[in-house]
Amino acid sequence: MTHEGESVAKELPKVSIAVSDRILLHLLENLEQADQFMVSNAVTRPGIAEACALHPPNVSRSMRGLLKEKLVQEHSRMVKGDERRQKAWQLTENGKSEAQNTKLELSSSTVLIRDKDGALLEIRADETADRLEADLSLLQVLMHALHEGVLTYGDIRFGPIRKKDGDNRPPPGRLTLLAGAHATYHTSPPQTRPVHGRADVLADLEIWREEMHPCMVIQGVAGIGKSTVVAHWLKERMENEANLSICWYPCQPWDRDHGVAVSLLHRVGIDDVHDPYQLMDTLPLSPGAPLDVDAWRRRLLAYLTDSAAIRERFLDLDDGGKPPPTWLVILDDVHHISENSNDLLGALLQVAIQSPLQLLLISRNRPQFYDRRDVHTRDKVREVSLKGLSVEALEEWLSTFDLGDPPEAGDIHRLTGGHPLAMELLELYGSATHGDWLRFLDEEILDALPDGERELLAQLAVSERPVEWEKLANASGWDGPPPEGLLAKGLLIELAEGMWLHEALRERLLRDVGELKSQRESRISD
């Protein structure tokens, strides 16, 4: 059932909010701090950057323009919780008027929500907070819509459900549901390319699983085939182990530990109906609030080792109420979150040691949440460092190519270190490698692209997360839809969050320096 002024959404509304408008709206929402001797972090550069989803240098750059237009004033203020004075900003009288006009204009923007009944609705931005029963400002609504597309009723980042008079909902701290959690993980491995070589790694994975060892780390450089070999092994394992329960979580550069924590709870059957150990109370109730990792760990361990509670959760299933004997949690690209999530990862390791849960981490770098004794003396963590393919594996792979004059496997190994991407690109383009690895990427891939397509990839490379196509096209001066050639070759990747590119190419393009790189960073941040 829809209300007046609402409609069932048929396509994703386009949400756009300029950087200067974000800042003006944010300062308007903090107007009570104007002319105060002591202010909160919200009106400093870090606070503005966080609220407006900007890099701090971009805040400074935008403030120079707003100061020139006399829309803001700059002051040195004491900041709560900090002994140092910091720069802080507030609106001028002209800025207040401009911000009010901006707010009025943006209020009528339409956003997409999923209401408490699961209906997908398109409504005005200024009606969203009431409809979601959440304490969200207009700016928060627009930023969530901009980066994620859909605002879902009960999202833990929106805080507790706002209680209404006569409402019988649970009190704050008991969320209605883990809305959208199921969409952030997979219950089966992703589709990947065929595996060549890697017999030793596959054997290591098999032994690790059979022994129910708590944790394994698969480490290697971008594109070396870490996810591919794990997915290949897991697909075969699932065929032979019917009751295997998988939580494959792809970590993203913009991820926080909350996503892992919520998804795992969802996977093991925790929701607003079944939560005997009150795990959902450990989750943050407001945007930016920390996860209570210790309570989350203790309660999760208690739940996973309580056979009666687990059986109760699975009573209504078609298989007669048989819970999975173990859970296998795969964190893919865990290097994206490891810097800020050591506490959570350490907690997961402790849970894996003491419960029927195994933890498999895929990372470019060795994670820092455990020490070397956990590997060498305590045997809590096993590590596999994935290197390039052997000459023999390359030779076997080359035999499947339809090339008139293929290069020698030894030459490819010498020039690329057996990097699988080199073989994939060789098969795509049908030419031998030349020079070192970076030179190969330049000559065989990047230099072969039309100038517009290369600039498109270079523009995308400076972003830290996927970018919506319209924004990427505008920043790179591209006219039209995404180029089919780049999509077909896997050089440009279309994700739900936006456009992305192959990590190996990204690493090469990020080596570009100077004014051109600075210009790209500026365009993509605006």
Decide if pLDDT at 417 tops 80. Answer: no
CB of 248 closer than 8 Å to CB of 189: yes
CA–CA distance, 130 with 136 (Å, rounded to integer): 9
Q: What is the pLDDT of residue 23?
A: 94
Q: What is the pLDDT of residue 309?
A: 87
Decide if pLDDT at 517 tops 80. Answer: no
Decide if pLDDT at 126 tops 60. Answer: yes
Domain ranges of the chain: 7-153, 183-385, 391-446, 451-525
CA–CA distance, 280 with 265 (Å, rounded to integer): 8
Closest CA to 359 of 325, 376, 334, 340: 334
Percentage above 70 pLDDT, the chain: 83
Weakest mean pLDDT among 125-139, 355-369, 403-417: 403-417
Write the pLDDT tens digit of every residue in 235-262: 999 988 878 899 999 888 777 788 889 8
Which of 3.30.200.20, 3.40.50.300, 3.40.50.1100, 3.40.50.150 would CATH assign to domain 183-385?
3.40.50.300
Q: Which residue has the higher pLDDT, 155 or 287?
A: 155
Percentage above 90 pLDDT, the chain: 31
CA angle centred on 426, ends 423 and 429, rounded to 5°: 150
> Sign of torsion, CA 427 430 432 434?
negative
Given CATH 1.10.10.10, say whether it is the number of domain 7-153. Answer: yes
Both structure tokens of 1: 């059932």
**For the CA atoms of the chain, what is the radius of gyration?**
26
Q: What is the pLDDT of residue 380?
A: 94
Alpha-carbon torsion angle 164, 168, 174, 180, nearest 10: -80
Q: Which residues neighbour 9 within 8 Å (Cβ) at sequence distance 6 or greater?
A: 112, 120, 121, 122
pTM of the entire predicted model? 0.57
Secondary structure (DSSP) of 352-414:
HHHSSEEEEEEESS--SSS-HHHHHTS--EEEEE--PPPHHHHHHHHTT---SSPPPHHHHHH
Same fold, 7-153 and 451-525: yes
**Fold (topology level) of 451-525:** Arc Repressor Mutant, subunit A (1.10.10)
Average pLDDT over residues 308-327: 72
pLDDT bracket for residue 526 (50, 70, 90) = low
Q: Which residue has the higher pLDDT, 381 or 77?
A: 381
Both structure tokens of 440: 């190969």
Q: Which residues neighbour 115 within 8 Å (Cβ) at sequence distance 6 or greater?
A: 121, 131, 132, 153
Decide if pLDDT at 287 tops 60. Answer: no
Q: Which residue has the higher pLDDT, 122 or 20?
A: 20
Q: What is the pLDDT of residue 449?
A: 81
